Structures are given as structure tokens and as C-alpha cells.
Amino acid sequence: MSEMLEILKEMVVDGKHKEIEAQVQSAIDSGIDLNRIINDALISAMDIIGKRFADGEIYVPEMLVSAMTMKLGLEKIKPLLTEDEIETKGTILMCTVKGDLHDIGKNLVTMMLEGAGFKVIDLGVDVKIDKLLQTVKEKKADILGLSALLTTTMPEMHRVIEALEVEGLRDNVKVIVGGAPIDKKFADKIGADGYAKDAAEAVQLARELVSVG
Ligand code: B12
């Protein structure tokens, strides 16, 4: 049984996206607990990938292939789980801010967060503040992730935080920010709860923020 989980884990690490679905199916057929397949094989593989990326052993393309492989495996399992069987680590709302169409980094962060067991609602690109406020309320998000790649759209992040304050929602949700022009100093200045320089760090950050509540 654990051998099957090991094989699955290696497949995700190696990005074997063509073979993953059949292997997940075999694991399901052999009666392994679905949450074990998710946690001990799929998520655990993405932890390895996150670490290798952080250590500079692999780069964005390899991380993307592993994340895609993980996603394919997860999608095979999801329909078999009822809502309360899904162990989610928290809900994260992700978007690229208004005026900005860059989504490659945001998508990578989304995939890694999903890989780490978070439920991620991806609102896409060029997302207006009203839509964000409404979704934060409706979905009771634990974390709001904002991405910006243009210096001209960075100030929109500040406006989002101000709007959350005005609406009385600021204490309900942690705000994390990222994107090539963003740094920790900017994040602190606008009153964000955290900044991460890449997808692997974003997972660490989200884990820390959810565990402190
Ligand atoms: C690809 C690209 C495009 C594509 C986007 C395609 C897409 N679907 O995303 C297209 C061609 C559409 C595009 C358009 C434009 N672009 Co462009 N683009 C780029 C480019 C080359 C790569 C960006 C990228 O994908 N990087 C790879 C990803 C993986 O990295 P990343 O986004 O930084 O994300 C990582 C981290 O930042 C972090 N992260 C990202 N988001 C988040 C969010 C959170 C919450 C967290 C925690 C972490 C996090 O994790 C990610 C993964 O590790 C950059 C140059 C560069 N090297 O950055 C220019 C760049 C960003 N673009 C630029 C410009 C100017 C434009 C245009 C204005 C060009 C034009 N005149 O039309 C338009 C703007 C369109 C718009 N309104 O948004 C400039 C911005 C300059 C500036 N100072 O603002 C850049 C820097 C190029 C340059 N050197 O001039 N672009």
C-alpha cells in the first residue's frame, strides 16, 4: 500500500502527467484511503518540489509540470469525495489586480497552493475591487492573494486593502501580495499581511498565516 503511495509521489515529482491518472486509479481500486492518496502522495510530492525550487535545484518549467501532474491526480479523486471528506487547509482567493493581465505567476502560485491542500478560488485577471469584496464575504476566504506585474497596477493592492477596511472586512481575511515588482518593503507599507517572492514561499506563507488564524 505504502509502495503505491511512493510510486505516486515520485510520479508527481518527476512530472509524469501522462501516467498519473492510471496510477491514481490503481491506488483508488486497491482501497487506499483517499485522503492518504492526497496527503501522503500528492501533497507530499509538491512539498519536495517546493523545496527543490527554493534550493535552486529546479526551475519554473519543472515546477509547472509537477503542479499540472498533481492537479490531474487530484481531479481524479475529487469527484469521489463528499464535501466534508475533503480536508481543506483553508480557502484562498487569488487574482491579478485591476488593469493587469499577467497571470502566469498567479496561476503557478494557485497550483502550488492547491497542491498544498488549500481550496483556491481563482478569480482570474483584471479583477475589480467590488468583485473581490463580494467574494471575500460570500466564500469566507481565509486569505486573499493579490498579484501584480506592472508598476502601474501595484497601487491597486493598496486600494484593495483600504476597501476591505472601509467594508469592515479587514480582520476577516489575511492579504498576501506578490509579483515581480513587489517586495517585502512595499507589502509592509501598504499593510499587507505577507509577501512571497515565489510560489514555493507562497505555500509556506499561507501555511503560517492559516495556522496563526
Ligand atoms: C509574459 C509577459 C507578458 C504577457 C502576459 C501573459 C500572461 N498570460 O501572463 C503579455 C504579452 C500579455 C504581457 C503584456 C504586457 N506587459 Co508584460 N511581461 C511578461 C514577462 C515577460 C513575464 C512575466 C511572467 O510571466 N513571469 C514568470 C512568472 C512565473 O513570474 P512572476 O509573474 O513574477 O510570478 C512569480 C512571483 O512573482 C510570485 N507571485 C506572482 N504573483 C503572486 C501573488 C501572490 C499572492 C504571491 C504570494 C506571489 C506571487 O510567484 C510567482 C511564481 O514563482 C514580464 C517580464 C518579466 N521577466 O517579469 C513582462 C513585464 C511584466 N511586462 C511589462 C509590460 C510593460 C507589459 C505591457 C504594458 C506591454 C504593452 N506595452 O502592451 C502589457 C500589459 C498588459 C496588461 N494590462 O497587463 C513590463 C512591466 C514593466 C513595469 N515596470 O511595469 C515587464 C516587466 C517587461 C519589461 N521588462 O518591460 N506581458
pLDDT digits (tens, 9 = 90+) for 55-110: 999 998 998 999 899 989 988 987 887 655 666 789 999 999 999 999 988 988 99
Which of 113, 149, 151, 197 to probe ligand 1 with, by most ligand atoms within 8 A of CB? 149
Residue 150: CB atoms within 10 A of its CB come to: 16
Closest Cα to residue 193, out of 92, 85, 117? 92
Residue found by looking up cell 479523486 in the block: 77
Beta bridge partners of 143: 92, 174
List C-alpha distances in Å: 74 to 86, 115, 142: 11, 9, 22
Higher-scoring residue by pLDDT: 47, 165 = 165
In the chain, the domains with their CATH numbers are: 2-84 (1.10.1240.10), 91-212 (3.40.50.280)
Please give the Cα distance from 188 to 126 (Å, whole number). 23
Determine the pLDDT at residue 82. Answer: 65
Compute, in angstroms, the gap from residue 83 CA to the centroid of ligand 1: 36
Compute, in angstroms, the gap from residue 104 CA to the centroid of ligand 1: 8
Nearest ligand 1 atom, CA 105: 34
Pocket of ligand 1 (CB under 6 A): 60, 99-106, 108-109, 145-147, 149-152, 176-181, 196, 198-199, 202
Beta bridge partners of 175: 144
In tens, the pLDDT along 131-156 reads 999 999 999 999 999 999 999 999 99
pTM value is 0.86
| Strands of the sheet with 194-195, listed across from one edge | 119-122, 91-96, 143-147, 174-178, 194-195
What's the mean pLDDT when you consider all of the chain? 92
Q: Length of the chain, please? A: 213
Please give the Cα distance from 139 to 63 (Å, whole number). 29
